[in-house]
Structure 1
Amino acid sequence: MHWVTYDAGSGARLGLLDGEVVSGLDREVTLLSLLGDGGERLAEAGASARANPTEMRRLDEVRLLAPIPTPPSVRDGLCFLEHLRGCYRALGRTEELHPAWSQTPAFYFGNPAAVLGPHDDVPIAPGSQWFDFELEVAAVIGRPGRDLRPEDAETHIAGYTFFNDWTARDHQMRDMAQGIGMGKSKDSAITLGPALVTADELEPYRREGRLDVEVTAHVNDREIARGSLALADWSFGELLAFVSRGTELRPGDVIASGTVPGGCLLEHLDTDDPAAFTGWLEAGDVVSLRSPVLGGTRQLVCPSPAPVLLRTGY
């Protein structure tokens, strides 16, 4: 099933997407309200949407929102170590990755209030000159759990969706210098969508514990990256097991894969000086993530207001 949250002019509503038709449910039904029991409520709602929808809309009649517009929490992993190596190479760093990267998956907490829909305009992070996208896929938790085991953690996943944690690379330099995690570099926008594709739909793509799902990223319809989730060093099961260690994963929590190798502009630097790179996103650029399984996002980058500066001038 492909679940979408959409607005046809009278507020957000949950619907089942079948081709180019959305079958809507009652307004009080949300995707979050259907999670938590292992899939029974989702299955019942899907049958209801097919047999007795509250309304039916053509896809081109509605505005798609994020499947879960405000998730309970957002975590972004780094499951593709080749992405990190690519960033190192682009920045002229020649050292090997620290052993810690191969001991546990890395992740940071994102901002649920920054979530955007798959076709929403994306404002450049205030004050950023080095604005970037990230080609990722997220798992959405369907039933709660803690201290999960890698071999069965994926049974807690309700489905998958695209994830794009738009990144201000210049702000990231300051975040990294301060050394307490991602701050304003990752705080301005996170795209989810276009749909939550239920986990059963991706099972035919499973290969040796990974999902062999192809994804691509385009800027102004020029392909920037193409890759597969099968390239991940850490599986979603391993990521969820580590993330749930000593804490509860809740229905609706969003756990992202990290960037598919090549799936950001930073990896494509063609100069030793990032400030001289002419490929950073600018207002008017259009960024698209695409997959034959997950659908696609398409978003216009737009300017944002100038930041309110601190006494230090930053």
Structure 2
Amino acid sequence: MTNTELPIVAITMGDPAGNGPEITVKALADASLYERCRPIVVGDAKMIEQAKAFVNHPEIRVNPVTRVADAMFEAGTIDVFHMDLIEDVASFKLGEVSVEGGNAAFQSVKRTIELAMAGEVDATVTNALNKEAMNLALEPQGMHFDGHTEIYATYTNTKSYTMMLAHHDFRVVHVSTHCSLREACDRVKTPRVLEVIKLGWQACRDLGIESPKIAVAGLNPHAGEHGLFGDEEINEIIPAIELAQAEGIDAVGPCPPDSVFSEMNGGWYDMVVCMYHDQGHIPTKTLGFVYDREAGGWKAVEGVNITLGLPIIRTSVDHGTGFALAGKGTSNELSLVNAIDYALRMARGRG
């Protein structure tokens, strides 16, 4: 495959007060990435230029463009769809919540979505944004978003969507995410559980898995123990599984949440449908986030966040903005590299 045939991947810089620009430079400093895709960063070229010094890559050239068509897509050069979002880089404070940083993060995401919807890029990858900073910036406009997922759903006019987390072949999808645990229990309804099973099954197909096997976790301890610890499994989850099976989906469950993730890690399933945020996030991040006690630092911070149900491809790092690490050049770029590779797998699956 020639360079001009490789997928174009748009990467947001994230909140510029965080470590997004740094891990972006680290990831794109690897020349082998340009053998897999044509990456372009969306944000502010001045912040990427500053990040070069933090991560000790002075040899890399930053190429600001205002059209994707003008990007060079060459190893050793980072193309940036420049939006001039930070007024004065020298006075912009790293590691702090700010309206300017929140607005920059939001505007780069919005433009990235627009580029994908217009067909100018083949996939999108997002660095982390700070929800507080973003909503401080949006408040005067009467706007509010819980995070990337809701931004993408709004600007792609998507009604049926969900969050998927992945650590290599360990995958989870969620019936609910950013809401209270009390509300999450109330959201476990047959139509939504069925919707998420189907979204997860299609995602596995997009990843090249011919016959996905989907495990559906229970909501209650021991998946309710036949009604002893709750009846959501009987009244809501089992009917959704049966409807999915009737459509030809290999779905099993409800499975006890305390064992189903170990089973998937052992290769029993291709994905687990989780009933709420932490049920899926905790096992995924336990696998992907590895702290080295002796070295006193993170050995790995891996994991990918994918929004399912969109008309465009969106993957993301599975960690926060890293405000405490900003400017130090020590942040790990593996999650971003994995997010790019997951986006490429999904792009191939969609043909």
User: In proportion to residue count, which structure has more strand?
Assistant: 1
TM-score normalised by structure 1 residue count: 0.26
Q: Of the two, which has the highest radius of gyration?
A: 2
TM-score normalised by structure 2 residue count: 0.24
